[in-house]
Amino acid sequence: MSDPKIEGYVFKPGFKGMAQDTGSDQTMFKGVHWGKAMMWIFLLSDTFIFSCFLISYMKGRGSTLVEWPNPSEVFALDAFGVPVPLLLIAIMTFVLITSSGTMALAVKYGYEKNRKMCGWLILATAIGGLTFVGMQAFEWSKLIHEGVRPWENPFGAKQFGSFFFMITGFHGTHVSIGVIFLFIYAYKTFAGHYDERKRGWFTTMKGDYVEIEILGLYWHFVDLVWVFIFAFFYLW
């Protein structure tokens, strides 16, 4: 990444540069959009939320006396009569990670002011997210069908159901919120709000393609969190 151009400010490389930026006036992160800085800090806070969830999960799993169910069995899916472990989850993860790719491309085309391409890619991302949520709903209903509930679990410790539904539910809510925003942003992109710098409906701030990058940060974060949830629930 090249440094932004700032009148009267000479960037320095490496650690010295960091110290100089920190000691300078006006901004700490030179040339970084306010909204983008905000999203990073929000995500840091959100990281703490998910960390609390996952640490609680470890503690809960560690302190229950009843045996924890075997993930390769509970999460297996019957394909042509053969139970394949982690099949659904592999597809879900693949879809979500792919949607991160389309999101990154959307950001790139946004900055190139390629309105059409950008809009389609956002839409593709939204559909990827929607597919993910749909598959998650399918997995939930399958588990519920088999008798797993937040308060009970025929396969072992009841905390399994509690933590599973709570944490994937919380993550799924994040994805759903992301999907809603993706649809809105797709609309705004196609309608040219970012090209015309039209003001936001509520915030009254001037629109800018940087908003897509900000949403992208959120989306990548949600994907990253999924990788952890995946590891903790399905591989442990």
Partner 1 sequence: MSEDFKDNKTIQAQSSETISGGGSGVSPDIDHVRPAEVEEQDLYHGHSFITKWIFCQDAKVIGVQYFLLATFTGIIGLILSWLMRLQLGFPGAASFMTAEHYYQFVTMHGMIMVVYFLTALFLGGFGNYLIPLMVGARDMVFPYLNMVSFWMFFIAVGVLLASFFVPGGPTGAGWTLYPPQTILEGTPGSGMGILLMCLSLILFVAGFTMGGLNYLITVLQARTRGMTLMRMPLTVWGIFTATVLAMLAFPALLVGALMMSLDKILGTSFFMPTILKAGEVLEYGGGSPILFQHLFWFFGHPEVYIVALPAFGIISDLISVHSRKNIFGYRMMVWAIVGIGGLSFFVWAHHMYVSGMNPWFGFFFATTTLIIAVPTAMKVYNWILTLWRGNIRMNTVMLWCLGFIVTFVNGGITGIFLGNVTVDVPLSDTYFVIAHFHMVMGIAPLMVIMGAVYHWFPLVAGRFLDEKLGKWHFWATFLGAYSIYFPMHYLGFIGVPRRYFEMYDSPYVASATGMNEFISLAAFLVGAAQFILIFNIIKTLKTGKPAGSNPWKACSLEWLTPTVPPEHGNWGDRLPVVHRWAYDYSVPGAKEDFITQTTPPSEVVNTGVEKT
If one asks whether residue 23 binds partner 1 (CB under 8 A), the answer comes out as: yes
31 binds partner 1 per the rule CB under 8 A: yes
Task: Tell me the DSSP string of 40-103.
Answer: HHHHHHHHHHHHHHHHHHHHHHHH-SSPPPPHHHHT-EEETTEEETTHHHHHHHHHHHHHHHHH
Tokens of 25: 């006036």
Could you give the CA distance from residue 164 to residue 136 in angstroms, rounded to a whole number?
12
Q: For residues 59-78, which are near partner 1 according to CB under 8 A?
A: 59-60, 63-66
Q: Report 81-120 residues binding partner 1 (CB under 8 A).
A: none
Complex with partner 1: residue 67 or 94, whichever CB lies closer:
67
Structure-block tokens of residue 184 = 């809105």
CB 214 to partner 1: min, Å? 12
For residue 3, what are its two tokens? 């440094």
Minimum gap (Å) between residue 182 Cβ and partner 1:
20
Question: Cβ(209)–Cβ(194) under 8 Å?
Answer: yes
User: If binding is defined by CB under 8 A, does position 8 make contact with partner 1?
Assistant: yes
Q: Toward partner 1, which CB reaches closer, 14 or 26?
A: 26
- In angstroms, the CA 29 to CA 6 distance is 12
Question: Where does this chain touch partner 1 (CB under 8 A) — which range of 20-28, 132-140, 209-217, 221-229?
Answer: 20-28
User: Does 162 sit near partner 1 (CB under 8 A)?
Assistant: yes
By CB under 8 A, tell whether 53 contacts partner 1: yes
Looking at the Cβ atoms of 16 and 206, the one nearer to partner 1 is 206
Tokens read off for 169? 């539910």
Chain positions 176 to 235 lying near partner 1, rule: CB under 8 A, are 199, 202-206
CB nearer partner 1, residue 61 or residue 220: 61
Strand partners, 56: none
Among 3, 12, 16, 27, binds partner 1 (CB under 8 A): 27
Residue 203: strand, helix, or coil: coil
Question: What residues pair up with 79 in beta bridges, in sequence order?
Answer: 82
- The helix/strand/coil state of 33 is coil
Cα distance between residue 128 and residue 176, in whole Å: 11
Contacts with partner 1, residue ranges (CB under 8 A): 6-9, 22-32, 34-35, 37-38, 41-42, 44-46, 48-49, 51-53, 56, 59-60, 63-66, 150-151, 157-159, 161-163, 166, 170, 199, 202-206
